[in-house]
A = this chain, B = another copy of it.
Amino acid sequence: MRTPDELTVLFRSSGRKVTAQRQCIFRLLQGDETHPSAESVHVAAQLEMETISLKTIYQTLHDLTELGEIAALDVGTGRTRFDPNVEDPHHHLVCQVCGSVRDLVVDFPDMSLPAGADLGFELGTAEVIFRGLCPDCRKATSARSSPGVPVGRPA
């Protein structure tokens, strides 16, 4: 996604108003590689604006998605994750324990389908999701007894 300043221009030119809470969300998303959920954006935003409502978070994330500035991901963790990185196509690593999501910048060269394998489908995107254990949860699992916090905000 673009910089908060560029988003300000974009929002205005698309008939939207630029409020303090929206700019707060712009700033929070800027450079965030954790693929945050609406909920976790809300928590982070509340540190700067105590009264910001979850509704506003959803609203703004929806707007940003509509404008193509961020991507809404469903990686099977139960909540929609938002990805500010829409510039370079990439895939994802998803931790099966804590649900943390990391970018996978590898491009797979040989993912085209053999003739006839598409079954008449008109192919669009191909998304690859690697599931496994993040460094933290791997440590916790191998160290014994301490299971990772189920759903939450990984470091």
Contact = CB atoms under 8 A, between A and B. Distances in A.
Interface of A: 74, 76, 93, 95-96, 102, 104-106, 108-111, 113-114, 117-135, 138, 155
Given A96-B124, A108-B108, A129-B129, 11 more contacts: A105-B117, A110-B110, A113-B130, A120-B134, A122-B132, A122-B133, A123-B130, A125-B132, A126-B128, A126-B129, A128-B128
Contact of A124 (B102, B124, B128, B133): B133
Contacts of A155: 74
22 contacts: A74-B74, A74-B76, A74-B155, A93-B121, A96-B124, A106-B114, A108-B110, A109-B110, A111-B128, A120-B134, A121-B132, A121-B134, A122-B132, A122-B138, A124-B131, A125-B130, A126-B128, A126-B131, A127-B128, A127-B129, A128-B128, A129-B129
